[in-house]
Amino acid sequence: MNRKDFLKSLGVLTAGATILGPGETVKAADKALGVSAGSSATTDVEVDFPVKGLKANVKNGPVKVIIIGAGNRGRTYSNYAKKYPECMQIVGVSDIRESRKNATGDKFNVPEEHRFGEVFTVPKFADAVVIATPDDTHYGPCMKALEWGYDVLLEKPVAQSEKECTDIAKQAHKYGHIVAVCHVLRYSPYFRAMYQAIHTGMIGKLISIQHMEPIECRHMAHSYVRGNWRDSKETTPIILAKSCHDLDILRWFVGKHCKTIVADGSLTWFKPENAPAGAPMRCTDGCPHESTCPFSAIDIYVKRKAHLGVFDLKNNKDEAEIMRKISDPNNVWGRCVYHCDNNQPDHFVSEMVFEDGTTAAFSMEAAGHVSWVLQDTSRATVLLSLSMNSAATGRSCGTRRWPTSLSTKAQDTAAEIWRWYVISWRPFLGRMEAS
């Protein structure tokens, strides 16, 4: 199987995994690649990957869990208890916001005495805790939970410093309890199939990796320009806040410790000097560019209904209430992305060398874009970039508009590559468009 066919097979595999039920198998081989039996192009390698169900094999009744941090992630994890009550039961909730604490408490019928601002004030009454608090508040609750005898599901990143991470590891060993970190990419069909291909020798010896994290532009605007992770000193640097998933995947693939890493990046785009002429401080203040801006707060929150968890709405379809929220001068999510107090890099590169000599190059591009090198009919090489800030590509954020300089054949090629990209990543990119 050549490289192109292998990557196509992963695309087929991932697409198949999204529509199959638990216990079924995704196979990407001759049929999936459109190769007829007996063809000279018939492959001799097949990716055969089981799609596992989400229902856990739990003995002695459901695992009793306390949710610490009832924001978006806390609510997401707690929903497992709704779908599989025989596997998990929410018995306590802790949050400094009364509205979030009581919303989760009411949803799971948590008694009043188990709704806390600070959970570690009563004797242990559950099996585990889910810590889904902001990055800078992982360490304290995790250390305390282990000391009190709880297993822990810890939202990434583990902590803000090497010392805090080491302390948590030592604490887990000391008390003999689990600290599971939410590196979800390890469980996606795409990366699990890639891991299998590497570690079974299907594609030969792993020598070097090139990996890119394109942060979807609305996600970047919401989280790392306007939102809770905009300040690297208050939370964590974006390489931890966002790209710790990527670093974890690279180490997982290699299976060795990283012995050296060099990284650098900068904030280039989301700065006042790049604001279009006449752009006010807020999207709701009559911005003349609002209708075409890919970062428009009105488009993201009101029209698309995306990232609404931060607003604690009673009705996520109430557009008037959403507009009122983002119009509030004290609401950070209504601000123009070029007039924020952000300091996170919007692009960086890193180089890693692992103990066995394997190298990895990783780049993060906060543009929600993908770049490909295409061969036109003239054999000229064309770099096609679907990015937020490229005038050549027209609209952005996954909406394709090819440069007019490309021939029809090249445009068709680009469209095919884009189709495979969307098929492969649709389960993980959420609202990404492909129109």
What DSSP line would sit under 45-107, residue for residue? --EEEE---S-----SSPEEEEEE--SHHHHHHHHHHHH-TTTEEEEEEE-SSHHHHHHHHHH
Is 356 inside any structural domain? no
Return the exposure string of 266-288: e unless at least 16 CB atoms fall within 10 Å of the residue's CB, then b.
ebebbeeeebeeebbebbbeebe
Minimal CA–CA distance to 218: which of 301, 288, 118, 124? 301
pLDDT at position 40 over 80: no
As a whole number, mean pLDDT of residues 74-93 equals 94
pLDDT per position as a tens digit, 131-150: 999 999 999 999 999 999 99
- Contact of 307 with 322, CB cutoff 8 Å: no
Within-domain flag for 198? no
Residues 135 and 82 occupy one common structural domain = yes
| SS3 category, 135 | helix
User: 329 and 304, same structural domain?
Assistant: yes
State how far the Cα of 152 lies from the Cα of 181, in Å rounded to an integer: 8
Instruction: Pull the structure tokens for residue 324.
Output: 């009122």
Q: How far is CA 335 from the centre of its chain?
A: 23
Between 283 and 56, the higher pLDDT residue: 283
User: How far is it, in rounded angstroms, from Cα 305 to Cα 325?
Assistant: 13
Residue 361 placed within a domain = no
Q: Are residues 38 and 68 part of one domain? A: no
Range of the domain at 170: 63-182
Q: Which tops the pLDDT comparison, 40 or 90?
A: 90
Query: What per-residue confidence (pLDDT) applies to 2?
Result: 54
Tokens matching residue 150: 């709880």
Cα–Cα distance for residue pair 348/353, rounded to 1 Å: 17
Confidence of residue 406 (pLDDT cuts 50, 70, 90): very low
What are residue 360's phi and psi, to 5 degrees?
A: -145, 135
pTM of the full structure: 0.77
Within-domain flag for 352: no
Residue 337 near residue 349, CB atoms below 8 Å: no
**Residues 286, 290: Cα–Cα separation, whole Å:** 8
**Residue at a domain's end among 153, 182, 211:** 182
16-30, 113-127, 184-198, 393-407: which is most confident = 113-127
Q: Is residue 101 domain-shared with residue 147, that is, in the same domain? A: yes
The dihedral sign for the CA sequence 342, 184, 168, 361: negative
Amino acid occupying residue 150:
Y
Q: For residues 158 and 138, what is the distance between their CA atoms, to the nearest angstrom?
A: 7
Residue 344 lies in a domain: no
**Lowest-confidence region among 24-33, 74-83, 257-266, 413-422:** 24-33
Arithmetic mean of pLDDT, 51-60: 78
- Same domain (yes/no): 106, 166: yes
**Res. 411 pLDDT band, cuts 50 70 90:** low
Higher-pLDDT residue of 18 and 139 is: 139
Instruction: Please say which residue of 167, 182, 197 terminates a domain.
Output: 182
The answer on 137 and 119 residing in a single domain is: yes
Structure tokens belonging to residue 199: 């570690």
Are 32 and 118 part of one and the same domain? no
Q: Residue 414: which pLDDT band, with cuts at 50, 70 and 90?
A: low
Is the same domain home to 49 and 67?
no
Distance between CA atoms of residues 334 and 325, nearest Å: 8
Across residues 363-371, what is the average pLDDT? Answer: 62
217 compared with 352, residue with greater pLDDT: 352
What pLDDT band is residue 28 in, cutting at 50, 70 and 90? Answer: very low
Strand order in the sheet with 208-214: 208-214, 359-365, 347-354, 258-266
d(CA 79, CA 104): 10
Does residue 15 lie within any of the structural domains? yes
C-alpha pair distances (Å), 310 with each of 77, 78, 313, 314, 316: 16, 17, 8, 12, 11
The predicted pLDDT at position 422 comes to: 45
Clarify whether residues 105 and 4 are in a common domain.
no
Q: What is the pLDDT of residue 247?
A: 94
Assign 410 a pLDDT band (cuts: 50, 70, 90): low
Confirm whether 243 is domain-assigned: no
Closest CA to 227 of 349, 311, 117: 311
68 shares a domain with 49: no
| Per-residue pLDDT band at 428 (split at 50, 70, 90) | very low
Specify the number of domains making up the chain: 4
Show the DSSP H helices in 280-318 as ranges.
297
CA distance 232 to 345: 9
Dist CA 22 CA 52 (whole Å): 5
Q: Does the pLDDT at position 435 exceed 50?
A: no
Please indicate, yes or no, if residue 360 is contained in any of the structural domains. no
Token pair, residue 25, equals: 């198998």
Length of the chain in terms of residues written: 435
- Poorest-pLDDT segment among 88-97, 173-182, 402-411: 402-411
398 with 294, same domain: the answer is no
412 and 301 belong to one structural domain = no
**Domain stop point among 286, 307, 334:** 334
